[in-house]
Chains A and B, each alone.
Chain A
Amino acid sequence: MKKDHRVVTIAIAAVAVAVVALFASRPSKPRSTRSNALQTAPALPNAAAGTAAAAKTAAAAAEQDRELRAAILRGSILAAQAEAPQPTDPVAQAVEILDERMEIAAPNPENTASMTAALQAIIRSGVLGETSATLLCGASMCRIDLNDTDSARVEQASQALASRTPKLFGSTLVFQRGASGRAVYLSTSATDLNLDPSEPQPSASAVAGEPPPER
């Protein structure tokens, strides 16, 4: 979110600089002349040399104006894009992070095999009912995708899976995917599924000195 603000600030600053430059570059020009110059190249009024030189200057100024206008427009578009709400789905982000962790983990075929076997046994036992399950295991983490046409059934399957998970898996996270889908992550270590590593560890001292609770 901070990054967005920075982009907006930069864009606004760019627009401001461009506007200042626009007016600073042409202080003595009458407004009507500048306006005409932006539309088309100015017509030469007569063949006099002095007038021709003036027209050349006006054409150059018009070109400069055009460029500045374009810069302002680009700045405005950039600012508008930065202000537009970014697609932020915390669940999608969490799933992406966990999938990435699963992919980049150093291979551990033995662990992968034992995790796969344990979860396949649960799936084959039929406790998931009609809910379909897709299993994918990495080195220390597995992902099971549960899908059903009925949202209640998929929740039942999710809870059935969690209640039968062996101690091999120390941690489970469940994310809703659509109306009747679940992405269930099971890990042999608690750290794999920790999505907020910066979070301070709980301790008894954390409560010391707190004011009395309110009612």
Chain B
Amino acid sequence: MRQKGKASLAACVVAALLAAAGTSQALEPGNDFPPYNNSDTSGFYGNPTVFQSRLSGNFNWLNFEAITTSTDRDYAILGCQGRPVKSVGIKDLTADLDIQVFDLGGVLLGGSTLGGTASESVNVAAQNKQGVVLRVFGFSGATGPYTVIVGC
């Protein structure tokens, strides 16, 4: 029940974030937020819209969706089950994807725009946020898969 409440809140926050950012792209349920996968042992749990790492250290969300079109934007809400999020990133890139990280109120915390297929990461430890929104997009229309990393 509490999880459902969190999911609703998270969806509202993302919708507000998108509205604030002025993007016309609607959320893509089932694409931006992959369904829970029982075979995944990444240390994440939760509903289709909020991913919480329940353990300390860095954890990877292995089965994340890809940026599939030049205008695709993926958003994911990430947390550490009440603890501050230390870092957020993406890896295993086959194309030049970039990221931005926001707090749950839509305030930009940082971004990573390294070139090529280098992993992207933003250290948000100093901002002391219990939840953040990750935005993934392709540079100059680049498309490809990625793995989300959360440091707790």
Contacts and interface: CB of A to CB of B under 8 A. Distances in A.
Interface of A: 90-91, 93-94, 155, 158-159, 162, 165, 167, 169-176, 190, 193-196, 199-204, 206-215
Contacts of B55: 210
Contact of A196 (B38, B115, B125): B125
A155 B105 CA distance: 11
A204 B109 CA distance: 26
Contact of A207 (B60, B112, B139, B151): B60
B149 interface: yes
Contacts of B108: 155, 158-159, 162, 174
11 contacts: A167-B113, A172-B111, A173-B123, A194-B123, A202-B119, A204-B60, A210-B42, A213-B40, A213-B44, A215-B36, A215-B46
Contacts of A158: 107-108
Interface string B122-142: 110111100000000001000
Contacts of A162: 100, 108, 111
A171 B43 contact: no
B129 to A, nearest CB: 11
Interface of B: 20-21, 36, 38, 40-46, 54-55, 57-60, 62, 86-87, 89, 91, 100, 106-115, 118-119, 121-123, 125-128, 139, 149, 151
Contacts of A200: 57-58
Contacts of A159: 21, 108
Given A90-B128, A199-B87, A207-B43, A173 B60 contact: no
A155 to B, nearest CB: 6
B112 A190 contact: yes
Given A206-B57, A210-B55, A213-B43, A170 B113 contact: yes
Given A158-B108, A199-B151, A210-B59, 13 more contacts: A90-B126, A159-B108, A170-B115, A174-B110, A202-B58, A202-B91, A202-B119, A207-B41, A207-B43, A210-B42, A212-B38, A212-B41, A213-B42
